[in-house]
Structure 1
Amino acid sequence: MLDRASKPMVSLVDKYLPDPYLFVIILTLVAFVAAMVFEGHSPMAVVEMWGNGFWNLLTFSMQMLLVLVTGFMMASTPLVRGILNKIAGLARTPGQAIVLVTFIALIASWINWGFGLVVGALFAKALARQIRVHYPLLIASAYSGFIVWHGGLAGSIPLTIATEGHFTQQTIGIIGTGETIFAFFNLAIVVALFIIVPLVNRLMLPAERDSIYADPKVLDDEPDTSVVINRPADYLENSRTLAWLIGFSGLAFIFQYFMDNGGLNLNIVNFMFLFIAIILHQTPKRLLDSLNEAVKGGSGIVIQFPFYAGIMSVMTASGLAASISSGFVSIASAESLPFWSFISAGVVNIFVPSGGGQWAVQAPVMLPAALELGADIPRVAMAVAWGDAWTNLLQPFWALPVLAIAGLKAKDIMGYCLMLLIITGIIISAGLTWL
């Protein structure tokens, strides 16, 4: 039934969803017009907001590029490829492959969102090398695990409000993760998604006659392990000693970092990926060969993230994001505020696809409303977090690393993600409202 129901969505997205670069251009123009029409700003004022914020995500853009590059380098090592292929061997049928990749992606994303994006995509390719399975749905399933990230261990909103000195502390104080990430309602939502998302993905699997299989050229990324020494510098390029000296220095830092009770974040995940790759590739030459392959898929990140930074600047500086949030708050009660916070966060996330950035925009609206209505503040905060994660199934911003690794385009997977958007929206809404 879900296979038949998803076909119109897949067809619709395939026909009308533009390339992610065109998508961000259209979003930029929509934000321009909305800021002028609804907030009363002049065209030049809006352009200034956009230009002033255009480079605000440079650090984050580099982090995301490194998620792709370091993850690819680590996964291209013989050891990691062997592990992924061994786990992939547990799946014997296309249906089992879809369920397994979804489950692995959900676990990895719950631990850390950057980890989940890379692991899901690379494991999907390992499965595709062993099983003939509908490749677009396989990659969509790998990406679908990302939906749980903001309710997991690396959720930026719950971690922010649990940190001493956060910007809303005077309003709500410190709220520990026991009231957010590990609260019953949040864990129930996560468990429900761990059950429903793999099941929905499996039920969308088309018949063999309708399946599209991976291009063998995309899957054939076996690293070159040959050694050619024609000059003295070649000895350095193929030196295991140099690689291991710097590699184990990195591992020593990682060990000390966690001994000092450091938590998982994007920088430490990239650091681990990089230095594990340095050690497992064994020589600088093999690492650099892997790097040359990895960077080929990073162009979308490089060009698109500055445009999203500009959109975020327009949305925040013009007051448009706050107006959207206020509009939903105005019709809310104490009981329904988490639901409307979730919906408003989902809308704002289309234009401001950053959990921390979105909280900075919505917290000044949502928290005073929660206090005035007597609503459950941790639940409202998590509603914003889940709204941010939810519409990532529609927003291709976060899919760029996955698509780059998989060798697909956004239109290839977003039809399946649209079906998941509808079903998971119902589950999350119910959990936030009634549990």
Structure 2
Amino acid sequence: MTILKSLTNFFDRMVRRFLPDAFLFAIILTLVVLLMGILFTDSTPVQMVEYWGSGFWDLLAFAMQMSMIVVTGYVLANTPIVKKGLVRISTLANTPGQAIMLVTFIAAIASLINYGFGLVVGALLAIQVAKRVNSLDYRLLVASAYSGFLVWHGGLSGSIPLLIATPDHFLEKTMGTIPITETLFSGFNLFIVAILVITLPLLNWMMLKSRGHLEMTPAKNWETDSFEDKEIDSVENLTPSDRLENSQIISLLISLLGLAFIVYYFINNDFGLNINIVNFIMLFLGILLHRTPRRFLASVNNAVKNVGGIIVQFPFYAGIMGMMVSSGLSESMSLWFVSISTEFTYPLFTFISAGIVNFFVPSGGGQWAVQGPIMIPAGIEIGVESAKTAMAVAWGDAWTNMIQPFWALPLLAIAGLKVRDIMGFCVIILLYSFFPIAIGLLFF
């Protein structure tokens, strides 16, 4: 416990002192990759600038998806029924230790179902628990919620295992189509997921205990909106537009249309979840449960204040990805790890290389497009099953998300914190999680 206390306090101090705002972090990372491309590839400075500018807008659709995750999650959280549900779940925790473990476990289970769902649920539950439990370090609580996101690529929304299970995927001629029974439901993946889901709550609890009597950081004064005082008592002087804005029938009709599509989608897609359908569900449930367009739009207006970081920063990460891919930097990193691998160590080195590449290309699908064509043929030549190689890339992608602000932005926007507030704790989670993932890839 003494060692954990020293490490936790050390990384927390270092991160809070030296880690800049997430936007400045993206700018610094941009300049670092620009310099690396000039020094370590044949690319000229002009070419690197071209790669950066050409890729700058490649994540616009994804940025919108992440913005909608924040907005729809916030809006849904402001509905009476969801607030009651969160309150009911939060009553399971009566002490700081119980709060940390509850939030970690629920966030991990939600992330196994869908990564976007996990980010929203973790943040909202952390906020609700923080309102009930006294003497709780809110920063560690939010970091615990984010730690549950670590397991997402081993769950039902894992982009790499789902892609290679789909006929006609871009590497089918090289590796064939691999069912999820050999990836998500393989022995090594189930081992990794089970160990992390069980031990992450304990790790975060131990970090809480190791911090002793340090001054606790209170939660943001996050109060859900109340519209009761805005209700109109008299309808005599309402204009037609006022009647529409306060019409429950309008909200009900459009909500029924949305819910009808949700049912249709699940029937025709074997109940599969993706980020778009999660956003769709939360959006139309928000409209329905707010009852009137006026209440819904008032909540939206408050929600959009939290998405500024996503809107501004995601294009910079798209530019970084453009430089990494077009200059050949990501390929060079991957090939170096291939060159030092044996049949036994290849899954481990694939995982480590994917973790490094993910720091610069923080997108599961985008990273697979970069590394898949390199790692799969090399693995086949060495004698490693393609399913394990693919999952090694997937876990590398998930692993360094713990210290990459890209995915933390939606959760932090909802929770009202900055990246430096949680990243010191996330370093400990990163260091610990290396071992169960490595064991699963090497020995199962």
Aligned counterparts of 2:214 and 2:377: Cα–Cα separation in 1:
55
Deviates more, 1:162-171 or 1:203-212: 203-212
**Could you list the runs of 5+ residues in structure 2 that have no partner in the other structure?**
none
Give the alignment of 1:251-330 within 5 angstroms: 251-262=259-270, 263-330=272-339
Which residue is 2:191 aligned to?
A: 188
Which residue is 1:227 aligned to?
A: 231
Which residue is 2:101 aligned to?
A: 99
Deviation, 1:5, is 2.6
Aligned counterparts of 2:335 and 2:175: Cα–Cα separation in 1:
19
**Could you list the runs of 5+ residues in structure 1 that have no partner in the other structure?**
none
Aligned counterparts of 2:212 and 2:428: Cα–Cα separation in 1:
18
Aligned counterparts of 1:82 and 1:310: Cα–Cα separation in 2:
42
Three-state SS of the structure 2 residue aligned to 1:399 is helix
* Partner AA of 1:314 in structure 2: M
C-alpha RMSD of the superposition: 1.0
Three-state SS of the structure 1 residue aligned to 2:395 is helix
* Partner AA of 2:231 in structure 1: V
Q: TM-score, normalised by structure 2?
A: 0.96
Deviation, 1:40, is 1.6
1:101-157 CA distance string (max 9 Å, x none):
000000000000000000100010010111121100000000110000000000000
Aligned counterparts of 1:42 and 1:244: Cα–Cα separation in 2:
58
Tell me whether 1:242 sits opposite 2:246 in the alignment.
no
Kept in 1: contact 2:225–2:299 (CA 8 A): no
Kept in 2: contact 1:223–1:290 (CA 8 A): no
Deviation, 1:208, is 4.4
Tell me the percent identity: 54
Three-state SS of the structure 2 residue aligned to 1:408 is coil
Which residue is 1:213 aligned to?
A: 218
* Partner AA of 2:218 in structure 1: Y
Tell me whether 1:85 sits opposite 2:94 in the alignment.
no
* Partner AA of 2:117 in structure 1: F
1:189-218 CA distance string (max 9 Å, x none):
000001111101001113344321113x2x
Three-state SS of the structure 1 residue aligned to 2:407 is coil
Which residue is 1:32 aligned to?
A: 34
Deviation, 1:224, is 2.2
* Partner AA of 1:418 in structure 2: V
Aligned counterparts of 2:11 and 2:213: Cα–Cα separation in 1:
19
Deviation, 1:412, is 0.4
Aligned counterparts of 2:331 and 2:43: Cα–Cα separation in 1:
15
Give the alignment of 1:39-58 within 5 angstroms: 39-58=41-60
Q: TM-score, normalised by structure 1?
A: 0.98
Kept in 1: contact 2:165–2:177 (CA 8 A): yes
1:39-72 CA distance string (max 9 Å, x none):
1211011101111111011111101100111111
Which residue is 2:420 aligned to?
A: 411
Which residue is 1:336 aligned to?
A: 345
Aligned counterparts of 2:413 and 2:107: Cα–Cα separation in 1:
17
User: Which of the numbers 110, 117, 120 marks the counterpart of 1:118?
Assistant: 120
Which residue is 2:163 aligned to?
A: 160
Aligned counterparts of 1:222 and 1:22: Cα–Cα separation in 2:
32
* Partner AA of 1:357 in structure 2: G
Aligned counterparts of 1:243 and 1:108: Cα–Cα separation in 2:
28
* Partner AA of 1:231 in structure 2: L
Which residue is 1:59 aligned to?
A: 61
Deviates more, 1:256-265 or 1:363-372: 256-265
Deviation, 1:427, is 1.4
Which 4+ stretches in 1 moved above 3 angstroms?
none
Which residue is 2:77 aligned to?
A: 75
1:65-95 CA distance string (max 9 Å, x none):
0011111111110100100011101111010
* Partner AA of 1:213 in structure 2: P
Deviation, 1:426, is 1.4
Aligned counterparts of 2:374 and 2:421: Cα–Cα separation in 1:
37
